Amino acid sequence: MNPKAILLDLDGTILDTLDDLADSVNFALSECGHPQRTREEIRTIVGNGVLNLITRSLPEGVSDEEFKKCLEIFKAHYEKNKTNKTAPYDGILPVLRELKARGHRMAIVSNKHNDAVEGLYEMFFSDTCDFALGNCDFLPKKPAPDMVFYSIEKLGLPRECAVYVGDSEVDITTAKNAGLPCISVSWGFRDEDVLIKSGATTILHSPDELCDAIEKI
């Protein structure tokens, strides 16, 4: 069995962060006097970093000053409340342990701010994944391939052995830009029809399917 470098998206793929994100977005919107968003609305706009999340949550036409105010309120609230309701998806941890036991090496690659990613990694995934990389100053965020290439190099395996796992159109584009096979999951932040329209070729419906899907690549 050849070990693979498995690059895992975080939010919506292995970690269900939606409720905490929604709570912090709506806290910030309320503090700034704007209408709140439904959980379903927020589900469809997460996945491409906090700037995109706040931009799309706010009404159109707000000033730069208002945007910055809402962003800072969100960041402060989320930092204090990011683990209130967040947890790995059911069945994810046993699958990651099995993949590790089979000799595969794994890294988390996320557009979430690096400090938050590292904290969540230490809390939930440090015993299965080798490291986690979030949005930082020295690499462009996904769908640019740079974070993926950096992570593969750190895992110490050739790119030919790498596979990307994610839940959104951003992840599909990231894998394409990196020249990697992509496994999409349907239990996260995007509906299956969105994944198909975005070019998904392999879509899983349960974490139990992940080991077999990895071995087939």
| Residue whose entry in the numeric block shows the structure tokens 């230490």 | 122
CB 5 within 8 A of CB 161: yes
**Which residue type sits at 143?**
P
CA angle 122, 126, 128 (to 5 degrees): 155
Q: Which one of the listed residues 9, 11, 16, 167 is annotated catalytic?
A: 9
- Please state, in angstroms and rounded to a whole number, the distance separating the CA atoms of residues 124 and 104: 18
| Sign of CA pseudo-dihedral 151, 155, 156, 158 | negative
Residue whose C-alpha is closest to residue 131's, from 101, 106, 161 = 106
> Which of 25, 79, 96, 31 has the alpha carbon at shortest distance from 56?
25
Contacts of 153 (CB under 8 A, 6+ apart): none
Q: For residue 143, what are the CA distances in angstroms to 48, 49, 64, 92, 100?
A: 8, 11, 25, 24, 26
Note if 137 is an active site residue.
no
Active site members: 9
